[in-house]
Structure 1
């Protein structure tokens, strides 16, 4: 089992909102194009013209007949990475083992320099490190569907290791644990990890 991948900061350029000059928006580079991003409300709003490291907190889908249209994408929601409040976690990849099962991953704290194998994960002493159960939160992360289809004999989808951001406990420096003991992912480090990554490729505008 492999946890995580080599980490690269996700950078965004900040621009003043054209319709609401008191607000700012961000743009993430996607090849030779740019994806529009909105900052999370009540989080740090950088100055226009700045370049900042961000995490993807969720996709923004438009509404159609009062319901969210998951086949379309308006923007991505992001927030600025703050290492005093956020911790990077290497995960083996999200998967769902059945229609009645939760989407989960296993993870370990990482510096992001490289992936982590089982031997190294075992060497990390709990409770200060060690493996954690990770839930996807509202990130819209891509996951492997292991719901066995006995009629179609569909092959199992391989899970994809990656890195996620979790909230940091200020007292311990470790990820904040939820009441059920799991750690909730609050942000993604790559567009490729989104379930709607293909929509990003379709909606990204020409780079400024």
Structure 2
């Protein structure tokens, strides 16, 4: 039996909503000590509340030539979780294994209560089971791409035999509408569930997704 695992036990990423000091009519948020901005199409919760969010992307500083300085993290962009719009997906982790290969991960929708196994993600057709019944049990599985998140990717393009970097199983958020539109093929990650999963994680102030 395969020992490959998908996802993690889900712990909600909670952000504190606060008034913007520069413009009190607008809201900002904090993950620990890290400043965050809400995406334009995000719900804006009341100031003083704590809400579950996803990290959609990093906002970097600029270098002297006006290009992104990936060593300077200015803020994180977040979106408030809406179960009607968003799906929690357990993945095996992203990997790029060749210069001509696409960076992908595979996963399945999860409630986050446990790790998923290969049998959960790739259910086998049972003896005597109809194709439609098997398809129903397989619903929720998908191929994913990183989107704009800068999620950790195991770079094994030039890895020697037996020295490949391991992938990082985790949970991510995707847009339900995109999953349906693309029939589960090439669905972009909409947001991360953990600070630790971003390539920018070491730049985050406080480096914690918990309320402090």
Fold-level similarity (TM above 0.5): yes
Distance 2:53 2:107 in 1: 21
Distance 2:140 2:183 in 1: 18
The answer to whether the aligner puts 1:39 opposite 2:59 as a matched pair is no
Secondary structure of the 2:179 match is coil
Residue 98 of structure 2 corresponds to 98
Length, aligned pairs only: 196
Which structure 1 residue ranges, 5 or more long, are not aligned? none
Distance 1:145 1:165 in 2: 22
Distance 1:7 1:203 in 2: 18
Which structure 2 residue ranges, 5 or more long, are not aligned? 125-133
TM-score by length of 1: 0.85
User: What do residues 53-82 of structure 1 show as CA deviations (whole Å, max 9, x unaligned)?
Assistant: 100000110111210001110011001000
Residue 60 of structure 1 corresponds to 59
The answer to whether the aligner puts 1:85 opposite 2:85 as a matched pair is yes
User: What do residues 104-142 of structure 1 show as CA deviations (whole Å, max 9, x unaligned)?
Assistant: 100111110011011222338436525311111001101
Structure 1's consecutive aligned runs of 4 or more residues displaced over 6 angstroms after TM superposition are none
After TM superposition, list the pairs within 5 Å mapping 1:82-161 onto structure 2. 82-123=82-123, 125-126=134-135, 129=139, 131-149=141-159, 155-161=163-169
Distance 1:24 1:56 in 2: 16
